[in-house]
Chains A and B, each alone.
Chain A
Amino acid sequence: MARGINKLRRAYMLLPLLLLFFSAPALNAKEAQSTADDPVIEARLRKLSQELRCLVCQNETLADSRADLADDLRREIREQMKAGKSDQEIIAFLTQRYGDFVLYRPPVKPTTYLLWFGPFLLLIGGLFVLYRYVKQRRDSISDSPLSAADHRRAAQLLAPASEKEVP
């Protein structure tokens, strides 16, 4: 009985979640406001803003983010595109203000060498350790041939049970 009530209570607790789920399209409406004026620019904007980080949410792209700043930056990018700026120029505009952090693909330069090449260093280090380990193991296995006593013992162990001599 008590269990039934608990179950009911749990179902009620899920209700707000469900409501939220169904109202999500309404929340998304803001994103879909991309003006109908120029499909070429809108496509460029969508592509470019997928490469850019929203500084407020940090793990969302500028294309996905619904933060106020992301709205402003999308508007800014759209205006610059309409003014004929290239993607490179717009990226330069943003990195001058917000730093390389806005880029999801950081540029290769001295301060990012470790970021770009660190994984390869780790790989090389790992291969070196593996090589040393395998070599050490191989060295520790002795190549000395079996002695006569070893042969006799092996034959004895391998012989069928009926032929086994009683020692």
Chain B
Amino acid sequence: MGRYLIPLVLFLVLVIFLAIGLGRDPHEVPSPLINKAAPGFQLPQLKDPSKSFSAEDMHGKVWLLNVWASWCVSCREEHPLLLAYSSAGAVPIYGLNYKDKREDALAWLGDLGDPYVLSASDTDGRVGIDYGVYGAPETYLIDRNGVIRFKQIGAVTPDIWEKRILPLVKELNGQGNK
């Protein structure tokens, strides 16, 4: 009996490991930026390039930085959700328009609606490198002290919004009131 049990157990262990491996998204690389200060930047605003936007402007606020581009397919998928969340107003959403052409980006927002308080233009993707962006859309939740608390690689889903982002936003907003 024992001699059949051992291969069976080994086989089951193998199956479990492979099943876990299959269920994982290899594109989700854990970011080393979690719980680190959000890299500073100073970029022109998309709608009015004469004005600039910097990460330091957001000090004292809990905010989302959403990396998007008009060429990014998943961003289009994510867009209606962002519009809904933005109008719900739980947390302000700022955009980082990543490696995009200004006209394309403005047309995109014109066609689909603008969920962002404002977007900053990272035309050459240099700020994207500082934020470790490698697959738009990516979303960063940044706390009052300018520390990145959560990063979503790929489109935000209702599940992630309800279970990860909203609770964390509540927690972070609560901390400041004490």
Binding site for B on A (CB under 8 A): 55-56, 58, 68-69, 72-73, 76, 95-101
Which residues of the other chain, A, contact B32 by a CB distance below 8 angstroms? 95-100
Q: Is the CB of A98 within 8 A of B29?
A: yes
Q: Is the CB of A99 within 8 A of B31?
A: yes
Q: Which one of B57-65, B82-90, B105-113, B129-137 is at the A interface?
A: B129-137
Chain B residue nearest to A54 in the complex (CB): B134
Which residues of the other chain, B, contact A72 by a CB distance below 8 angstroms? 99, 124-126, 128-129
Secondary structure of the B contact surface, majority rule? loop
How many Å lie between the Cα of A44 and that of B25 in the bound state? 33
How many Å lie between the Cα of A97 and that of B125 in the bound state? 14
Which residues of the other chain, B, contact A58 by a CB distance below 8 angstroms? 26-27
Residues of B128-160 at the interface with A, using a CB-CB cut-off of 8 Å, are 128-135
Binding site for A on B (CB under 8 A): 26-27, 29-33, 99, 124-126, 128-135
How many Å lie between the Cα of A14 and that of B28 in the bound state? 37
Q: Known contacts A99-B31, A99-B32, A101-B29: does B134 contact A69 (CB below 8 Å)? A: yes
Chain B residue nearest to A75 in the complex (CB): B124
Q: Is the CB of A76 within 8 A of B134?
A: no
19 contacting pairs across A/B (C-beta < 8 A): A55-B29, A55-B134, A58-B27, A68-B99, A68-B125, A69-B133, A69-B134, A72-B124, A72-B126, A72-B129, A73-B129, A95-B32, A97-B129, A97-B130, A97-B132, A98-B29, A98-B134, A99-B132, A101-B30
Least distance between B104 CB and chain A CB atoms (Å): 15
Which 6 A-B pairs give the minimum distances between C-beta atoms? A55-B134, A97-B132, A99-B32, A101-B29, A98-B132, A72-B125
Least distance between B68 CB and chain A CB atoms (Å): 15
How many Å lie between the Cα of A68 and that of B132 in the bound state? 14
Known contacts A96-B32, A97-B130; 11 additional CB pairs below 8 A are: A55-B135, A69-B134, A72-B124, A72-B126, A76-B126, A97-B129, A97-B131, A97-B132, A98-B29, A98-B132, A101-B29
Name the residue in A68, A76, A95, A97 with the highest tally of chain B Cβ atoms < 10 Å from its Cβ: A97
Which residues of the other chain, A, contact B128 by a CB distance below 8 angstroms? 72
Chain A residue nearest to B31 in the complex (CB): A99
